[in-house]
Amino acid sequence: MTTDQYDTIIVGAGTAGCVLAARLTEDASHRVLLLEAGQDYPPSASLPPILRSAKRVPMRGHSLGYDPDHDWNLDVSVSSDGSTMAVPQARVVGGGSAINGSISLRGAVRDYDVDWAGLGNPHWAWKDVLPAFKALEHDTAPDSRIHGRSGPVPIQRTHPQELSKLASAFVEASKNVGFPYQHDLNAPDAVGVGPVPQSRQGSHRISMANAYLDPARGRKNLTIRPNSLVKRLLFASPQTTRATGVELAQGTVYRGKRIVLAAGAVLTPTILQRSGVGPASHLRSLGVPLVLDLPVGDNLGDHFAVPLLAVPRPEACSDDDFALQAALRTSSAVQGPGSMDLQLTFFSYLHPGNPDPRVASKRGSRSLAGDGGLPPGATRLAGMACVLNKPRSVGVVRITDAEDASVLPAVDPRNLEHPTDRAAARELVRLGWKVMRSEPLRSVLGAPLSFSDEVVADDAALDEAVAKNNASAYHFVGTCKMAPREREGVVDESGRVYGLEGVWVGDASVIPVVPAANSMLPTIMVAERIAAALRAGGIENVAGGTEKEKARL
């Protein structure tokens, strides 16, 4: 069945897709179709409490409230012994912003000046992206020179007196080992410990469905189709590279003048590969007719993480605790000042179990809460994710089935392949261990569930323990790299896919190198700027921000 033609079809109503849909439909004459494989909870519907609350992280391995219907339930093989790693990939309108920790970090200045502009993207330097970061946020942090006050995304931080007992102990322990207190971890290259900025209003999560899509739902030029799984792009003919629409898994066809992919760094390259756009040898091996040979699915970046966990003392816990309130950020000796490549993210609450029988079969897969079990008598875990923010190892995403859109791709993160990552990981875990075993944190946590003084002190033993205990921090980027084509790029600076007509990518897939920040806020910034580029006829006409963005500042 073929339906009406749209001006733009956006594939994926996640963090980026909500932004793109809201911005492109500001032009009332522009008809937009927003497709999402998961469920939708419009304002008139009842949003599940676990998606409404900012106190818990409703991901597998984090909370009893995890709902597998909101996740693709992706497990990634991480070693030759068959171990797997849980990698939450949201399947709900709002995407990752509907189920993540709401952390709203921008990254380091050199993420943009070196990793973007230095790679051949001159319109993505810090001076260019800062106006977009300011325009998207409603932040009451003191320094108005670097923060916006009237954007759609509310950014809040927990004040020291409002921290949970566990988070307060983490902050004080970090200070006691020599780190300064930083109330604004989004200040350029801020080193220290402090509250994480989060997209919330009090105890209510603000997803990008709330911030961007809900205000746009009444527009007559916006059509939202949830529960719509896209199988592939459609082209005008087998001999052309001009996209004319998309085909859903059940056979429905939607026609559009242009297609913007925003399905995330795993599923955007999956759709392209199934459409015949990707590494030629792999596509031919699956019998996929080749449309264009591009390195789609290469350059997978992620934040490598090692959890340091313990059972907290009962007197230090409250059921009312926010799961996530504070973090420490600094730079390693391996990558040097300004890299901000080491991050300790503290969790006052983690619960790896879940009574849902659909989840029980997933136990044993690594996550930031360990391997899926609680010690006898324990009701929760606490501790920190030791996050390597700038790993140099990169992985790949490859489809394994040419026809069935429900079959997830093979994802190989290739953690620790680069030797400098192993050295940085040692420094990272030793930093986390030092904080964890320092007062007052030591007194409110029980004995660590993994690692020991002896293991942490020995390079070989530590390398082995890190290899067995690492997990993903769930920040996949880079699989449709923004860079010149001769530098293995897939899209240009405006998000346009090289060699195709009418196809753009507007999500975390284009981020060329994983930033020194949780990926949500950089993804929102990317979607804002690519939407502006689409409306302006190219990123060169946007530069430091749209006229509307500049006016709001």
**Alpha-helical regions (H) of 217-263:** none
Strand, helix or coil for residue 84: strand
Q: Token digits for 505?
A: 């990518």
Q: What is the pLDDT at residue 353?
A: 63
In this prediction, residue 549 has a pLDDT band, given cuts at 50, 70 and 90, of very low
Q: Is the pLDDT of residue 61 over 80?
A: no
d(CA 185, CA 107): 9
* End-to-end Cα, the chain, rounded Å: 46
d(CA 185, CA 520): 15
**Alpha-helical regions (H) of 53-164:** 109-113, 126-136
Q: What is the pLDDT at residue 371?
A: 66
Binding site residue list for FAD: 92, 230
Q: What is the pLDDT at residue 370?
A: 73
d(CA 91, CA 110): 32
- Cα dihedral 174, 180, 183, 188 in deg (nearest 10): -120
Q: Token digits for 246?
A: 């998309």
Q: Token digits for 177?
A: 């080992």
The pLDDT of 38-59, averaged and rounded, is 90
In this prediction, residue 3 has a pLDDT band, given cuts at 50, 70 and 90, of low
Q: Which residue numbers are catalytic?
A: 475
Q: What is the pLDDT at residue 141?
A: 78
Condensed to tens digits (0 to 9), the pLDDT of residues 138-159 reads 998 777 789 999 999 999 999 9
Condensed to tens digits (0 to 9), the pLDDT of residues 68-78 reads 999 999 988 77
Q: Which residue has the tokens 């911030």?
A: 211
Q: What sign results for the dihedral spanned by CA atoms 361, 366, 370, 376?
A: positive
The pLDDT of 258-267, averaged and rounded, is 99
Q: 65-74, 161-170, 272-281: which has the minimum mean pLDDT?
A: 65-74
Condensed to tens digits (0 to 9), the pLDDT of residues 442-491 reads 999 999 998 999 999 999 999 999 998 888 999 999 999 999 999 999 99
3-state secondary structure 164-229: CHHHHHHHHHHHHCCCCECCCCCCCCCCEEEECCEEEECCEECCHHHHHHHHHCCCCCEEEECCCC
The amino acid present at 365, given as its one-letter code, is: S
Condensed to tens digits (0 to 9), the pLDDT of residues 246-259 reads 999 999 999 999 99
Q: Are 25 and 6 in contact, with CB atoms under 8 Å apart?
A: no
Element (H, E) at 233: strand 230-235
Q: Token digits for 541?
A: 């006409």
The pLDDT of 273-279, averaged and rounded, is 99
Q: Which residues fall within 8 angstroms of residue 276, CB to CB, at 6 or more apart? A: 232, 283, 288, 289, 290, 291, 292
CA proximity to 95, closest of 48, 50, 51: 51
Q: What is the pLDDT at residue 303?
A: 96
The Cβ of residue 159 has, within 10 Å, a number of other Cβ atoms equal to 9
Question: Percent of the chain at pLDDT above 70?
Answer: 94
Q: Is the pLDDT of residue 81 over 70?
A: no
In this prediction, residue 351 has a pLDDT band, given cuts at 50, 70 and 90, of confident
Q: Are 454 and 433 in contact, with CB atoms under 8 Å apart?
A: no
Element (H, E) at 24: helix 15-24
Which residue segments constitute the domains of the chain, with CATH numbers given? 6-47+207-299+477-551 (3.50.50.60)
Condensed to tens digits (0 to 9), the pLDDT of residues 101-117 reads 999 999 999 999 999 99
Binding site residue list: 92, 230
Q: Is the pTM of this model over 0.85?
A: yes
Q: Is the pLDDT of residue 547 over 60?
A: no
Q: What is the pLDDT at residue 418?
A: 94
